[in-house]
Homo-oligomer: A and B are copies of this chain.
Amino acid sequence: MAPTKKGILERLDAGELVIGDGGFVFALEKRGYVKAGPWTPEAAAEHPEAVRQLHREFLRAGSNVMQTFTFYASDDKLENRGHTQRFTGQQINEAACDLAREVANEGDALVAGGVSQTPSYLSCKSADDVKAIFKKQIDVFVQKNVDFLIAEYFEHVEEAEWAVQVLKTSGKPVAATLCIGPEGDLNGISPGDCAVRLVKAGAKIVGVNCHFDPETCVKTVKLMKEGVEKAGLKAHYMSQPLAYHTPDCNRQGFIDLPEFPFSLEPRILTRWDMQKYAREAFNAGIRYIGGCCGFEPYHIRAVAEELAPERGLLPPGSEKHGTWGSGLDMHTKPWVRARARRDYWEKLKPASGRPFSPAMSAPDSWGVTKGHADLMQQKEATSQEWKTLQLSLKKSNAHL
Interface residues of A (CB under 8 A from B): 29-39, 49-50, 53, 56-57, 60-61, 80-81, 119, 122, 213, 244-248, 255-272, 296-298, 301, 317, 319-322, 325-341, 343, 345, 347-362, 364, 366, 368, 374-375, 377, 382-383, 385-386, 389-390, 393-394, 398-400
Contact = CB atoms under 8 A, between A and B. Distances in A.
A327 B38 contact: yes
A354 B353 contact: no
Given A353-B244, A355-B355, A270 B265 contact: yes
B61 A350 contact: no
Q: Which of A122, A256, A338 has the most CB of B within 10 A?
A: A338
Contacts of A362: 356
Given A50-B53, A375-B332, A390-B337, A37 B351 contact: no
Given A262-B325, A301-B32, A327-B35, A247 B81 contact: no
A215 B343 CA distance: 33
A354 B322 contact: no
A336 B389 CA distance: 10
A255 B29 CA distance: 29
A303 to B, nearest CB: 13
Given A37-B330, A386-B334, A400-B400, A352 B271 contact: no
Contacts of A340: 37, 386, 390
Contact of A31 (B256, B272, B298, B364): B298
Contacts of A49: 53, 56
Contacts of A256: 335
Given A30-B298, A359-B360, A36 B352 contact: no
Given A265-B268, A265-B269, A352-B354, A330 B38 contact: yes
Contacts of A327: 35-38
Contact of A377 (B325, B332, B390): B332
A362 B377 CA distance: 41
Contacts of A31: 57, 296-298
A270 B260 contact: no
B29 A267 contact: no
Given A355-B359, A362-B356, A399-B398, A345 B263 contact: yes
Contact of A320 (B35, B301, B356, B389): B35
Nearest to A244: B353
A349 B338 contact: no
A30 B245 contact: no
A80 B341 CA distance: 21
A393 B353 contact: no
A341 B60 CA distance: 38
Nearest to A331: B37
B353 A247 contact: yes
Contacts of A34: 320
A65 B11 CA distance: 47
Contacts of A383: 329
Contact of A259 (B30, B268, B317, B351): B351
A351 B343 contact: no
